[in-house]
A and B are shown apart, each in its own frame.
Chain A
Amino acid sequence: MSRVLLRDVSKVFAGTTAVHPTTLEVPEGHFLTLLGPSGCVKTTTLRMIAGFVEPTAGKILIDDEDVTGMPPQKRRIGMVFQDYALFPHLTIAENIGFGLRERRQPKAASRARVAELLDLIRLPDIADRFPSQVSGGQAQRVALARAIAFPPRVLLMDEPLGALDLKLRETMQFELRRIQRELGITTVFVTHDQTEAMNLSDTIAVMGGGRVLQTGTPQQIYDQPRSRFVADFIGQINFLDGNMNGSMRLQTDSASFRVPHGDATTGKATLAIRPQHVILQNGTVLPDEYDRLEGTVISQVFNGNLTHLRVDLGTTHWTVESRPGTNSVQPGQRVTIGWHPSDATVLTQ
């Protein structure tokens, strides 16, 4: 298993910079996800690692070996494509054994390896079928088996679960993680689905506008987003725009709010807070140390175990979580909401 390193890699298409100089490291055995909205060139970045796209500048290293300019077939990479790209004219067993045959592995050993992989993906009985005769979930697992048949140095996955329905997607996330952990394969995964990224990854690299905006564990990305884009992309969050005046308070037109310790910057800033950290004062009394705002309830959406309220605060709309039953409010009602300053984050980008 191997380490992948992108060093100042960039890509220019017809005069337009698609990927700005990017440095990214995937430690051995790690599961890294490139997460971002469509059009943020996460797939282009993946295709540069694969060798389908050559970077305009920078180097790509696998295990300290410079693979920049090396054709894909020499890189010893496995890849799962978005729509699986199984060979329709080959059986499932032949599909899985494709890489073994191309690398001239002995026939008997290949057959044993294919059988072993069919067991690993828990589909021992479909060896002689053709791709058109298996379901989407099965095809997905076959694509994974093909990618790891000849043990790759790196496994690349380009939105592999995108075509599956929600239930199956969740099962497959679990399967993927199990197999990746079991084999300890260094993995680079591309998705636009933040839940998927959270569930699977050791490290998430959030991409936007052709660059990596923030890299960290799912927890770090969620709790300490460094920019408004990252905060907004990962989960739900509320924003309040204002100015920092160096006194650890965010000044808006009408009031000022305390911000977490250490934020003594000045200039334009945004206070960000997750819905679950905002409390509705309705029957409950907000503790003294809480900062508060007043607004009007616009709508409420029942989500099973909790209710999402949209509250109009005049300059912006916030989402507030509340457990059903405890606070019963109606749209149009004036409410006071509050939060503990330490749960808020200040974003200056």
Chain B
Amino acid sequence: MTARWGLFLLPPLALTLLMLGFTQFIFLKSSVFADLGLGETGTAFTLENYIEAVTDPLYLNGMKLTLELAIGVVALTLVMTYPVAYVLTRMPARTASLLLAAIVCSSFVSVAIKILGMVIIFAGDGLVSRFFRWLGVIETSMQLLGTMTGVVFGYLHLAIGFMVMMLFSVLQTIPVKLEEAAQIHGASRLRVFWRVIIPLSLPGVLNAALIQFNLLMGAFVTATILGGGKVLTFPVLIQRTLVMFNDYGLASALSAVLLVIVLIINIAATAAVTRRRVAA
């Protein structure tokens, strides 16, 4: 019986492979052929696209910037959302679900609308600039568009709601009883956090961080629009190579490099977490 039911899974699998796997394969295949210009690729096997992708300082710096940005934003997001998620799990269930619903609703708004909204308030004479001028923090106008700071804010804005939801589900699994047990046996609130809540949530937190990291490594809408062409992250470089220069071979090689690097980081991180769990 089980075997026969399993057959129903074959069509979706085939469809998935065709739509995702096959198209990726077609695209990635062009990475081993030379670019002839105007979107044409040669037919002789060559590794020159890969050599360019891993030696050209433009791409190396792009990768460095992307990694720094992704890791930095994930770290900032964690610091900002962990306490929020914790407080939510320890609230009366009604209030917590109301607040979580609000966060979920905010994530229904499409990325493009959120980012374009930010373009308006981040502009030289936008809301943010005027607010800080009113506070007296700055004298003239504050330029966030086309800067690293602007992009970081954009990423944070997208990441925070998502991260609160993921961490909420992680922290929710830690029983309050354990906190009480720690407290009654001498641990202060801070020590309870350090010795009970953080170690117990660590595997879940690492998973959430990894998901967020992967999303940021591939994100380019935010960097493209808020960065205004001045913040060249790896996905932005791939997009430019593809759309502006029509170098399909190089763009494909760059994509492959990004894919492999993200994959290696994921495998390494997962292995580290698994080893910890086996040790435990």
Contact = CB atoms under 8 A, between A and B. Distances in A.
A40 interface: no
Please indicate which of the listed interface residues A52, A89, A146 has the most CB atoms of chain B within 10 Å of its own CB.
Answer: A89
B200 A88 contact: yes
B137 interface: no
Interface residues of B, number: 18
Contacts of B175: 85
A155 to B, nearest CB: 11
Contact of B181 (A85, A89, A149): A85
A78 B180 contact: no
Please indicate which of the listed interface residues A50, A88, A103, A150 has the most CB atoms of chain B within 10 Å of its own CB.
Answer: A88
B180 A52 contact: yes
A72 B180 contact: yes
Given A75-B184, A87-B182, A89-B200, 17 more contacts: A50-B184, A52-B180, A72-B183, A73-B185, A73-B186, A77-B184, A78-B184, A79-B180, A79-B184, A85-B175, A85-B181, A87-B196, A99-B185, A102-B186, A102-B195, A150-B185, A156-B184
Contacts of A89: 199-200, 280
A83 B177 contact: yes
A98 interface: yes
A98 B185 contact: yes
Given A102-B191, A130-B280, A87 B186 contact: no
A71 interface: yes
B172 to A, nearest CB: 15
Contacts, number: 65
Interface of B: 175, 177-178, 180-188, 191, 195-196, 199-200, 280
Contacts of B178: 85, 87
Nearest to B277: A89
> How big is the A interface, by class?
20 to 34
Please indicate which of the listed interface residues A99, A147, A149, A150 has the most CB atoms of chain B within 10 Å of its own CB.
Answer: A99
* B contacts with A: majority SS: helix
Contacts of B183: 52, 71-73
Contact of B186 (A50, A88, A150): A150
A290 interface: no
A72 B183 CA distance: 6
Nearest to A132: B280
Contacts of B200: 88-89
A81 interface: yes
24 contacts: A50-B180, A71-B183, A72-B180, A72-B183, A72-B184, A73-B186, A77-B184, A78-B184, A81-B180, A85-B175, A85-B180, A87-B196, A89-B199, A89-B200, A98-B185, A102-B187, A102-B191, A103-B186, A146-B181, A146-B185, A149-B185, A150-B185, A150-B186, A156-B184
